[in-house]
Chains A and B, each alone.
Chain A
Amino acid sequence: MRVIDYTIEPPVVEGNPSLSSINESIIKPLESKPTRGWYIAISISLTMLLIGAISLGVTLWKGVGVWGVNQPVGWGFDIVNFVFWVGIGHAGTLISAILFLLRQRWRTSIARFAEAMTIFAVMCAGLFPLIHTGRPWLDGYLLPYPNQHALWVNFTSPLLWDVFAVSTYFTVSLVFWYIGLIPDLATLRDRTTNKILKTIYSILSLGWRHSGRHWQHYEMAYLILAGFATPLVLSVHTIVSFDFAVSIMPGWHTTIFPPYFVAGAVFSGFAMVQNVLIIIRKVFRIEHIITLDTLEKMNKVMLATGMMVGYAYAMEFFIAWYSGNPIEQFVFLNRALGPYAWAYWTMVTCNVLFPQLFWFRKFRRSIPVMFIVAVFVNVGMWFERFVIVVTTLSRDYLPSSWGMYIPSIYDIGILIGSFGLFFTLIFLFIRTLPVVSIAEVKAVLNSSQPSHGGNH
């Protein structure tokens, strides 16, 4: 049996590095020339972005008819991708706000990156409903403002609630991220010798001088924003789930949708953060800051949220039977045995079965295993949205109007493009801003906490 010492708090950062070495290891990538690997990576992501841009261009030129959507499946890849990306965008604020309120110190090393990822993911997500409207140049009318055309939004539609929820979420996440960046921007300002960079950092760091009074205000602002962001994180995916659940479509209208979507979002968000961080910590050589312990904790969160998602699948199935409603029962049998059964079983395998490996400590701490499982989770969570959107729409109440949905090349192109956008933004981010919050990591070093631990 493994012996763990519970009397001491496990260190967040390994090896007790000095304060200046923390600065060095986090800032170094920003001050050195990009490596060849970085160029290769961004070339790939830019190519993907280009594929997306072309597909989108064709769509705008010819109209959404080039997509695979049809009657009865009016929602296809665009909505699937929207929900997928909003989901990915959930880990960031969960880590930075909710784990902050829960005083989980291990969040410090991953919070900055996860927040940045949130912002990029929400950008990708926001793209889809905008193009899904078919005539994106009229999207301004999504915002309720008095206009000559007397056009007014439908406040009873959850699609409009999405507009507010997602834009609020994006704004608050951005502010939260930026507030957290200020002390680090000041550090960068103080280090750089480049005049242009110094001016940029000076403007962005808002005159931060690391004074005690600054910190005091900073901490209060951070706490308030965390409190503010917490209900927002939960509300965004709740409202996304309302898009489906307020309708009377079988398979969509079920009361567990709000918490189930939130759990799924956290699940996929953690998987994406973990996937990208595994590479970054290796490339940047910051394995002692983003430690294996931290990754293990993330895997535990994935195990827990994965089981919540599994619980929801099971509950939907059980209640569909229990309800005695034949249409509801059909939908679930159709999911498991119908034409899209392959998607359903992909979803179940990736989301419920594979994460069970994380019951074992050996797998929780194995980088290859966790990487593969997290990739599976991302695939599975994308398929979850596909299953929800497509299986329900393709076979609704009236068998004579049943249809099949097959994505067109442009659908796939735009999906690839969204990944291209996401990774391009990430690659730019890791070259321009510190991927780990320098100030926060310093605060959780054992040497900075005289009351903790004994080895100082």
Chain B
Amino acid sequence: MSMEQTLLQKKSLPDKFKKISFLIFGIGLLTVIISFFVDSHRFAFNYNILFSFLVSIALGNMFLFAIEYLAGAVWSTVFRRINEIFISFVPFVMVIGIVVLLEMHSIFHWTYKDVLENDEIVRGKTPYLNETFFIIRFFVYTLVWTLFAYFMRKNSLKQDTTYDQNLTYRNSKLSAFFIPIFAITITFFAIDYLMSTEPHWFSTIFGVYYFSGTVLSALAILTVVSILLHERSYFDKILKPDHFYNLGALLFAFVNFWAYIAFSQFLLIWYANLPEETFWMIHRWENGWEIFSFILIFGHFLIPYFALLSQQAKSNLNRLKIVSIWLLIMHYVDIYWLTMPSGFKQLVFGWIELGFIVFCVGIIMILFYYRYERMKNIIPVGDPKLKRSLEFKL
């Protein structure tokens, strides 16, 4: 197959990309370090947001990877190597996360001794919310995710040379085990790092809420990266609008799913009107935070909903690219909205937050650059489903 042979030679990313990545990363890092000395409380909260966002990207791609195997999807095989690049972020992201553990006292006030003494409700949660167990859980997440990421990629990469169909079978099995473990770990991750910033508040749907954003952001980054590479001929023009249509349709589906989950949570809390739950929502509806609530309603749901509604929009590459970047920003805003008001009564948004976003972009670009350069090829050439994937038509 000649097409596969041309694809065996992967093009390198230009040096310019590397330079720009380092520049962005450098600016971000500098701002972040300065912010630590200016306002360590805000630094810690922002760092937690950054970490959760990066976890979303890496884990969301693992989920997409697993679902491809489990559903026996064919069209997505051409994109799988891009998934794998983001999956390989996992150990790095977890190393980045260690700072959150070090800064635990600035983020989670259930770690304060005086809170534990005076607050009966928070005290009741100590069997779960205590520093030791929190750190243990961090390492459990790290271990589990890293192992899965390692074996999933290993099987897939091995197939490039062996063309062994059994590896697909093995990855399907691995994916089946991954999904329930993923569901449990991501839920408790969300509870630990996002929900417990406000230790009084609770919501059973919270894990699903974070999951919906996770998958959406993973789809968005997969879409935007694939389109950018496609436009610069990294895929040798083998990708057709039909392939992108599927990504667009899934983005649309998960925009709706996120809205469904967010609305369910909001409506039930609003309607029941129990003070033990509503205070969390009210807090996000006053002191300037309502701006972010509005941004989410419009930016995370209505705008992308209408932007992706029509059939043409889902295979319009420019549209998809813009919406994907937009949705990535929105997922960041979403995590910001979830955690930041827990630590700050008044709206805070300024150079520190922008610096963290720049830092986040820098991290993703640098990690992407190095992980991409280590890949031998840009599509899984040994995958038995590849031929059908290339021929895919709607």
Contact = CB atoms under 8 A, between A and B. Distances in A.
B261 A259 contact: yes
Contact of B208 (A6, A7, A101, A256): A256
Nearest to B271: A246
B125 A322 contact: yes
A7 B384 contact: yes
Interface string A1-18: 111111111000000000
Interface of A: 1-9, 101, 103, 231, 234, 238, 242, 245-248, 253-259, 304, 307, 311-312, 315-316, 319, 322-325, 359, 451
A328 to B, nearest CB: 9
A143 B256 CA distance: 29
Given A246-B272, A315-B204, A324-B124, 7 more contacts: A6-B384, A7-B165, A238-B264, A253-B274, A258-B260, A311-B187, A322-B202
A259 B208 contact: yes
Given A4-B169, A9-B388, A322-B202, A259 B276 contact: no
Nearest to B208: A259
B272 A253 contact: yes
26 contacts: A3-B165, A4-B165, A6-B383, A7-B384, A9-B74, A103-B394, A238-B264, A248-B274, A255-B205, A255-B264, A255-B269, A256-B204, A256-B205, A257-B268, A258-B264, A259-B261, A259-B264, A311-B183, A315-B207, A316-B204, A319-B204, A322-B125, A322-B191, A323-B276, A324-B125, A325-B276
B387 interface: yes
Nearest to A9: B388
A247 B272 contact: yes
B312 interface: no
Contacts of B187: 311, 315
A246 B267 contact: yes
A311 B181 CA distance: 11
A324 B27 CA distance: 44
A259 B205 contact: yes
Interface in B375-394: 383-385, 387-388, 391, 393-394
Given A258-B260, A259-B261, A248 B202 contact: no
A248 B387 contact: no
Interface in B241-288: 249, 256, 260-261, 264-265, 267-269, 271-274, 276
A234 B264 CA distance: 12
A1 B180 contact: no
Contacts of A6: 165, 168, 383-385
A116 B345 CA distance: 55
Given A4-B165, A5-B384, A256-B204, A324 B121 contact: yes
Q: Which 5 A-B pairs have the closest CB atoms?
A: A256-B204, A6-B384, A255-B205, A258-B264, A246-B271
Contacts of A101: 249
B166 interface: yes
Contacts of B125: 322, 324
